[in-house]
Amino acid sequence: MEWTRGITRVAVLTGAGISTDSGVPDYRGPNGIWTRDPAAARAFTYDGFLADPALRARFWDTYAGHSAWLAEPNGAHRALAELDGSGTAVRVLTQNVDGLHQRAGLPARKVLELHGTIRAVRCTGCHIRTDTERTLLRVRMGHSDPRCDACGGILKLAVVLFGEHLDARVLDQARQIATAAQLLLAVGSSLLVEPAASLCSVAVRAGARLVIVNRDETPYDDLADEVVREPIGEALPRIVAALIANRKPTAVRS
């Protein structure tokens, strides 16, 4: 892995595939949520969510018992935290909403959640944010379509649904991070969802090496210095070990 030599600044774009070993299902894989139930994808569209109380009820019922609440970080998450601890400058740009990077030990300031988080709820009316557990408790008590206590507006998880725009400030920060990186690792992402996937080309245009770790082909494979098809839980710890071993030694001031 010659491309691991001399790397001190790494951006990591992570998708659902990095969390499947933690028991969090992906969306488009062979056993993905939308593969098994294509109609479920409609509940993840912003217009559909706002217009249809039945879709909202389905959405909340899904997340009330979602595996992410009990999931623990796996070896891939921990490997990235280890890389950060080694002195390499690491920034994670994640499409995931499960919070497992932070739970693995990465400081929250080093994790940019491109598509939001399931740990907070936002009112679509007054935009107030509250803790998710409070809303899920109401769902478990039978409130299938919980409303905002402050204004009566529709509540949704603080995640970006299809049809919503990414926060412009978050996207701009992500592009800056991709531009500054020497290496962009794209891990467990289909790279089908834009504009997050385009961070690969942003990094390459700025001179970074691009390495894709994913089970399936992606639209950005042709741009990559290397494409790794091994299981993420095996490949990422090996890549991290090589990056740590091959860092340039820091000059000692006399």
Q: What percent of the chain has pLDDT over 90?
A: 79
Residue 76 pLDDT class (50, 70, 90 cuts):
very high
User: What integer pLDDT is reported at residue 34 of this predicted model?
Assistant: 55
More confident residue, 155 or 61: 155
pTM: 0.89
DSSP assignment of 62-87: HHHT-GGGT----HHHHHHHHHHHTT
The answer to whether 115 is a known catalytic residue is yes
C-alpha distances in angstroms, 186 versus 36, 163, 190, 237, 248?
A: 25, 24, 9, 14, 23
Let me know: does 9 contact 88? Beta carbons within 8 Å. yes
Measured CA to CA, the distance from residue 44 to residue 50 in angstroms comes to 10
User: What integer pLDDT is reported at residue 66 of this predicted model?
Assistant: 80
The arithmetic mean of pLDDT across residues 198-225, rounded, is: 97
Range in 7-16, 63-72, 162-171 the model is least confident about? 63-72
User: What integer pLDDT is reported at residue 247 of this predicted model?
Assistant: 83
Query: Residue 174: enclosing H or E segment and its boundaries?
Result: helix 168-180
User: What integer pLDDT is reported at residue 59 of this predicted model?
Assistant: 87
44-75 pLDDT, tens per residue? Answer: 789 989 999 999 998 888 888 788 888 999 99
182-207 pLDDT, tens per residue? Answer: 999 999 999 999 999 999 999 999 99
Is 200 annotated as belonging to a binding site? no
133 has pLDDT over 70: yes
Which residue in 66, 77, 101, 115 is the catalytic one?
Answer: 115
Measured CA to CA, the distance from residue 87 to residue 70 in angstroms comes to 30
Average pLDDT over the chain reads 91
254 has pLDDT over 50: no
Measured CA to CA, the distance from residue 197 to residue 101 in angstroms comes to 19
The arithmetic mean of pLDDT across residues 76-97, rounded, is: 97
249 has pLDDT over 60: no
36 has pLDDT over 80: no
Is 123 annotated as belonging to a binding site? yes
Domains in the chain, CATH or no CATH each: 1-24+73-115+166-254 (3.40.50.1220), 25-70+117-159 (3.30.1600.10)
CA atoms within 13 A on the CB side of 23: 9
Q: Which residues contact 160 (CB under 8 A, 6 or more apart)?
A: 114, 115, 116, 166
